[in-house]
Amino acid sequence: MKYLAIAFGLVLALGIISSIVNGGVALLRGFGFIDNRPPITEQNSHSFKQDFSGKLESVLIKFDAGSITLQSGDTFQVEGTNIPASLTATLDNSKLVIEDQENTNILPNLIGKDKAPTLVVTIPRDTHLKKMELEIGAGRGELLEIITDELI
């Protein structure tokens, strides 16, 4: 009887440890720290792509949730996947303004990272910005080869 109780306690302890580890892994995946599967793009996801031309001196980005990359390249464009329909991108008086008019619900992003909004802003190489304002909420931000006098 003593050995049966020890075996039962061992199985119970292993079950509890396994549940804690699986819960921790699920949380890390939800926050995007672990990504071991290919991205899935659903057919009903909203894609966004807009090309621009003209002089660029400043950038204002208001993006609540998701991943955003600002990079220099050969084109001047804004593109993204799983973008809310309320996102707008305009170029007026040499100022690029990208903003989401509505609040983004981040709960689906915690459960399924594959559905998180992804935005890529490409500005022409050798563009020297006077000012860049970023209001980024939950998510990841990345700046690659961007030259600016003032970063807010």
Average pLDDT, stretch 14-40? 77
Q: Residue 103: which pLDDT band, with cuts at 50, 70 and 90?
A: low
Q: Residue 35: which pLDDT band, with cuts at 50, 70 and 90?
A: low
Q: What are phi and psi of 45, to 5 degrees?
A: -75, 150
Q: What are phi and psi of 117, to 5 degrees?
A: -65, 140
Average pLDDT, stretch 9-24? 92
Taking only the tens place, the pLDDT of each residue in 81-95 is 888 888 889 999 999
Say whether pTM exceeds 0.75: no
Taking only the tens place, the pLDDT of each residue in 48-86 is 899 998 899 999 999 887 889 999 999 999 999 888 888
In the prediction, which pLDDT does 126 show?
A: 86
In the prediction, which pLDDT does 131 show?
A: 93
Q: Is the distance from CB of 94 to CB of 57 less than 8 angstroms? A: yes
